[in-house]
Chains A and B, each alone.
Chain A
Amino acid sequence: MGTKLTEELISTVRSIVGFDFSDMDIIRALHLAKNNPTAAINIIFDAPNFISKQKSPTPKTPNPNPKSKPNPVPDKQPNLVVKDNGNRILSQNLEVNCIENDARDCTIDDSERVLSSVGSEWWHVGSGVVAGLSTCKGRRVKAGKEVNFTFPLKSKISNSPSPGKGFGRGRQTVVACSEIVRFSTKDSGELGRIPNEWARCLLPLVRDGKVRIMGRCKSAPDVLGIMDTIELSISVYLNSAMFRKHHQNSLKAAANSTEETIVHPLPNLFRLLGLTPFKKAEFTPADLNTRKRPLNSKDGCGLLASLLNVSKSENQSGNGNEVENEESISDANLENIVGVGDSSELEEMDPPSTLQCDLRPYQKQALHWMIQLEKGKCMDEAATTTLHPCWEAYHLADKRELVVYLNVFSGDATIEFPSTLQMARGGCLDQIMLLKILADAMGLGKTIMTISLLLTHSGKGGSSNSQSGSQPCTGGGSSDNSDQLPNQLTKSTKSSGFDKLKQKKMLVNGGNLIICPVTLLGQWKAELETHAQPGSLSIYVHYGQSRVKDANFLAHSNVVITTYGVLASDFSAENAEGNAGLYSVHWFRVVLDEAHTIKSSKSQISVAAAALVADRRWCLTGTPIQNNVEDIYSLLRFLKVEPWESWAWWNKLVQKPCEEGDERGLKLVQSILKPIMLRRTKSSRDREGRPILVLPTADVQVIYCQLTEAEKDFYEALFKRSKVKFDQFVEQGRVLHNYASILELLLRLRQCCDHPFLVMSRGDAQEYSDLNKLAKRFLKGGQNVLEGEGTDVPSRAYIQEVVEELSKGEQGECPICLEAFEDAVLTACAHRLCRECLLASWRNASSGLCPVCRKTITRQELITAPTDSRFQIDVEKNWVESSKIAALLQELEKLRLSGSKSILFSQWTGFLDLLQIPLSRRNIPFVRLDGTLNQQQRERVIKQFSEDDSILVLLMSLKAGGVGINLTAASNAFVMDPWWNPAVEEQAVMRIHRIGQTKRVMIRRFIVKGTVEERMEAVQARKQRMISGALSDQEVRTARIEELKMLADSQIEPAVYRKMILDRWDVEGPPPNQWKRVRKRKPPPPLQHSNGAYLALSTSTLSGSATQYYRVGVFDNCSQKWRNLVDCLTLKTKKSSEVQTKKLAVVQNVNYGALGLDLISIELVVSEEVLESREKAKPQLWKMRTPEEASVHWRQLFGHLDREE
Chain B
Amino acid sequence: MANSNLPRRIIKETQRLLSEPAPGISASPSEDNMRYFNVMILGPTQSPYEGTFVQLLIGGVFKLELFLPEEYPMAAPKVRFLTKIYHPNIDKLGRICLDILKDKWSPALQIRTVLLSIQALLSAPNPDDPLSENIAKHWKTNEAEAVETAKEWTRLYASGA
Contact = CB atoms under 8 A, between A and B. Distances in A.
Contact of B13 (A818, A840, A841, A854): A818
Contacts of A833: 108
A849 B9 contact: no
Interface of B: 8-9, 12-13, 73-74, 104, 106-108, 110
B8 A841 contact: no
B104 A854 contact: yes
Shortest beta-carbon contacts, A-B, top 5: A851-B108, A815-B108, A851-B106, A816-B107, A841-B107
Contacts of A816: 9, 73, 107-108
A840 B107 CA distance: 10
A851 B73 CA distance: 11
Contacts of A1021: none
Given A817-B9, A818-B9, A818-B13, A837 B107 contact: yes
A849 B8 contact: no
A818 B107 CA distance: 10
A849 B107 contact: no
Given A840-B74, A841-B74, A819 B107 contact: no
B8 A852 contact: no
B126 to A, nearest CB: 19
B108 A852 contact: yes
Q: Contact size class for A?
A: 10 to 19
A851 B12 CA distance: 19
19 contacts: A815-B107, A815-B108, A817-B9, A818-B8, A818-B9, A818-B12, A819-B8, A819-B9, A833-B108, A837-B107, A840-B107, A841-B74, A849-B106, A851-B106, A851-B107, A852-B106, A852-B108, A854-B104, A854-B106
Contacts of A851: 106-108
B106 A817 contact: no
A851 B9 CA distance: 16
A956 to B, nearest CB: 41
Interface string A845-877: 000010110100000000000000000000000
Contacts of B74: 840-841
A534 to B, nearest CB: 67
Nearest to A819: B8
A851 B74 CA distance: 10
Contacts of B8: 817-819
A825 to B, nearest CB: 14
A1130 to B, nearest CB: 44
A848 to B, nearest CB: 10
Contacts, number: 31
A817 B10 CA distance: 9
Nearest to B11: A818
B64 to A, nearest CB: 22
Interface of A is mostly: loop
A842 to B, nearest CB: 10
Interface in A800-833: 815-819, 833
B132 to A, nearest CB: 27
A252 B8 CA distance: 80
A644 B44 CA distance: 85
A447 to B, nearest CB: 57
Contacts of B12: 818-819
A840 B110 CA distance: 16
A854 B107 CA distance: 11
A816 B8 CA distance: 11
A849 B9 CA distance: 21
A595 to B, nearest CB: 52
Contacts of A840: 74, 107
B20 to A, nearest CB: 14
A851 B76 CA distance: 12
Nearest to A815: B108
Contacts of A817: 8-9
| Most chain A Cβ neighbours within 10 Å, of B12, B107, B108 | B108
A818 B9 CA distance: 6
| Most chain A Cβ neighbours within 10 Å, of B8, B107, B110 | B107
Nearest to A841: B107
Nearest to B74: A841
B114 to A, nearest CB: 14
A854 B104 CA distance: 8
A818 B74 CA distance: 13
Nearest to A852: B108
A57 to B, nearest CB: 105
B50 to A, nearest CB: 31
A815 B108 CA distance: 5
Contacts of B108: 815-816, 833, 851-852
Interface string A885-912: 0000000000000000000000000000
| Most chain B Cβ neighbours within 10 Å, of A816, A818, A849, A854 | A818
Contacts of B9: 816-819
Contacts of A837: 107
B47 to A, nearest CB: 27
A67 B100 CA distance: 111
A237 to B, nearest CB: 88
Contacts of A852: 106, 108
Interface in A261-304: none
A1142 to B, nearest CB: 46
A852 to B, nearest CB: 5
Contacts of B104: 854
B82 to A, nearest CB: 27
Given A851-B108, A854-B106, 13 more contacts: A815-B108, A816-B107, A817-B8, A817-B9, A818-B8, A818-B9, A819-B8, A833-B108, A840-B107, A841-B74, A849-B106, A851-B106, A852-B106
A817 B74 CA distance: 11
Nearest to A831: B108
A718 B4 CA distance: 24
A1187 B12 CA distance: 34
A817 B108 CA distance: 8
Contacts of B106: 841, 849, 851-852, 854
Contacts of A815: 107-108
A744 B107 CA distance: 25
A854 B106 CA distance: 8
A845 to B, nearest CB: 15
B150 to A, nearest CB: 31
A589 B110 CA distance: 70
Nearest to B13: A818
B112 to A, nearest CB: 11
A462 B4 CA distance: 83
A854 B110 CA distance: 15
A195 B74 CA distance: 80
A815 to B, nearest CB: 4
A849 B8 CA distance: 23
Contacts of B110: 818
B83 to A, nearest CB: 29
A849 B107 CA distance: 10
A849 B109 CA distance: 13
B75 to A, nearest CB: 10
Nearest to A838: B107
Contacts of A854: 104, 106
Nearest to A843: B74
A837 B104 CA distance: 18
A852 B106 CA distance: 7
Contacts of A818: 8-9, 12-13, 110
A833 B107 CA distance: 11
Nearest to A814: B108
A728 to B, nearest CB: 16
A829 to B, nearest CB: 12
A277 B84 CA distance: 105
A46 to B, nearest CB: 92
Nearest to B73: A816
Contacts of A849: 106
A840 B9 CA distance: 14
A816 B107 CA distance: 6
A244 B110 CA distance: 94
A1095 B107 CA distance: 34
Nearest to B10: A818
A460 B104 CA distance: 71
